[in-house]
């Protein structure tokens, strides 16, 4: 995983992993002299990148997704009269997944006790870009800000964040959304459903995660979610920039010990969907910026 950079203030201790996709290795809330996990503790088995290198990125507490999120099917995508090829990039999926930023070594540009800035030069299929990733601690929590500048062909770009949270017996999730994508057996989009017609799939009221597998992209997310962790004595608020309008929820089941709540710009395989929903078309030299904040508060009367 390489050297970790630790950020600390009175309420947080966060470790950043520049050599492992620039992600957050782990993060804890400092509460009454105790460390309470905000993200799942570091672990998980390494995966293998296309170049054969073992990568520990799936063991992090949060991954950074750029220049796309989730899977791209069909060996790539057609854009403005040309087909742009994308090869699989890890051994866990037959499709390229999450871009290349989460597998890359990021350079440290600046750092202090409570902030760090990382840079990455990306080359992912037809995508050539530079990215700047800034983490900072403030009273509002942990802020992650990602800026992407296209250095190559005019193409549709996406970005987002992939936090992994603990899934405990009392964990509950709440967020608003308008719709949800069902998926095929190989995790590609199948059908878009209005949540008004399928309230059983909605998290508009605080509820436990499903007992079975969930891997769903919720559309029309307004950028705020709350995770109740009564077993830890805290609630966690996840907020994101307006251009991260998709909330992707993933968990294999209650025994996995984790779930993912991912603020991302687009749903799975958006590059192969009509209208490229959620993607931002960047000319050479143009840029986009996204951000996510993870904040917490103590819950009176809950277990600590």
Tens of pLDDT, residue by residue over 178-191, are 999 999 999 999 99
DSSP assignment string, 78-101: EETTEEEE----BTT-SS-BSBTG
pLDDT at 42: 74
Task: State the greatest distance between any 2 C-alpha atoms of the chain, in Å, as a whole number.
Answer: 60
pLDDT at 28: 96
Token pair recorded at residue 288: 């986009």
**CA 36, CA 45: separation in Å to the nearest integer?**
23
Residue 249, SS3? strand
What are the residue ranges spanned by the domains of the chain? Answer: 64-298
Taking 70 as the pLDDT cut, the residues of the chain under it are 1-2, 43-55, 301-304
pLDDT digits (tens, 9 = 90+) for 286-298: 999 999 999 999 9
| Inter-residue contact 179 to 166 (CB < 8 Å) | no
Return the CATH fold of 64-298.
Beta-galactosidase; Chain A, domain 5 (2.70.98)
pLDDT at 140: 80
| Inter-residue contact 238 to 225 (CB < 8 Å) | yes
Give the residue among 76, 72, 268, 74 at the shortest CA–CA distance from 162. Answer: 268
Give the residue among 81, 59, 79, 87 at the shortest CA–CA distance from 1. Answer: 59
Please list, in sequence order, all residues whose beta carbon lies within 8 angstroms of the beta carbon of residue 34, skipping any fewer than 6 positions away.
304
């Amino acid at each position: 995983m390489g050297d970790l950079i630790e950020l600390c203030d009175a309420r947080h201790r966060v470790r950043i992993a520049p050599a492992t996709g620039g992600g957050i290795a782990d993060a804890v809330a400092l509460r009454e002299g105790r460390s309470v996990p905000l993200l799942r503790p570091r672990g998980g088995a390494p995966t293998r990148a296309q170049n054969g290198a073992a990568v520990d990125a799936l063991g992090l507490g949060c991954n950074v997704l750029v220049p796309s999120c989730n899977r791209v099917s069909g060996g790539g995508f057609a854009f403005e009269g040309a087909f742009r090829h994308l090869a699989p990039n890890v051994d866990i999926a037959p499709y390229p997944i999450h871009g290349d930023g989460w597998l890359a070594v990021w350079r440290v540009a600046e750092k202090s006790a409570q902030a760090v800035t990382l840079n990455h030069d990306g080359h992912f299929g037809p995508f050539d870009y530079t990215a700047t990733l800034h983490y900072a601690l403030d009273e509002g929590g942990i802020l992650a800000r990602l800026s992407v500048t296209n250095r190559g062909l005019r193409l549709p770009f996406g970005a987002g964040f992939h936090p992994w949270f603990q899934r405990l017996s009392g964990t509950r999730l709440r967020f608003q959304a308008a719709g949800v994508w069902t998926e095929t057996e190989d995790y590609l989009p199948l059908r878009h459903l209005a949540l008004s017609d399928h309230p059983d799939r909605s998290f508009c009221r605080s509820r436990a995660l499903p007992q079975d597998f969930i891997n769903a992209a919720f559309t029309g997310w307004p950028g705020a979610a709350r995770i109740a962790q009564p077993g830890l004595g805290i609630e966690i608020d996840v907020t994101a920039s307006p251009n991260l309008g998709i909330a992707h929820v993933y968990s294999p089941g209650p025994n996995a010990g984790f779930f993912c709540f991912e603020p991302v710009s687009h749903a799975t395989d958006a590059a192969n969907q009509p209208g490229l929903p959620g993607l931002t078309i960047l000319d050479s030299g143009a840029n986009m910026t996204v951000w996510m904040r993870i904040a917490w508060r103590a819950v009176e009367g809950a277990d600590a």
